[in-house]
Amino acid sequence: MAKQEYSNYQKKVIQNYYQHKDTIVLTRLQELVTDLYLSETPAKTKRLWQQVEKALDKMKLKPAIKSRILEKQNVELLAKNLNEWLKA
C-alpha cells in the first residue's frame, strides 16, 4: 500500500484530536456517569461499566486507582474521581 498523504486540513484535524484527547475522554466519562445513574437494567449497567473501563484505559492513571474504581463499580466513586481530574 502506498503511504497516504493528508491535506493540510486533515493534518490539523488529526493534530487537534490528539491535542485534546484528554478532554475528549473526560467528557466521555462525564456522559457515562450520567448514563450509569440513569441505568435501569443490570445488563445496561454492565455494558456501561465496560465502556468506563475502555475510557479509563485511554487515560494516564495509576493502575491502583483504575482497578479500585472498576472493582467497586460505584458511580459516586467514579464521579468523585472525575471531579478531581477535571479540577487538575
Task: Kindly list the domain boundaries of the chain, sorted by start residue.
Answer: 19-87
CA distance 51 to 45: 10
CB atoms within 10 A of CB 59: 14
Share of the chain above pLDDT 90, in %: 92
The pLDDT of 44-64, averaged and rounded, is 95
pLDDT score for 4: 82
Confidence of residue 60 (pLDDT cuts 50, 70, 90): confident
pLDDT digits (tens, 9 = 90+) for 15-46: 999 999 999 999 999 999 999 999 999 999 99
Q: Residues for the chain: how many in total?
A: 88
Instruction: For 6-73, give the secondary structure using H, E and C.
Output: CCHHHHHHHHHHHHCHHHHHHHHHHHHHHHHHHCCCHHHHHHHHHHHHHHHHCCCCCHHHHHHHHHHC
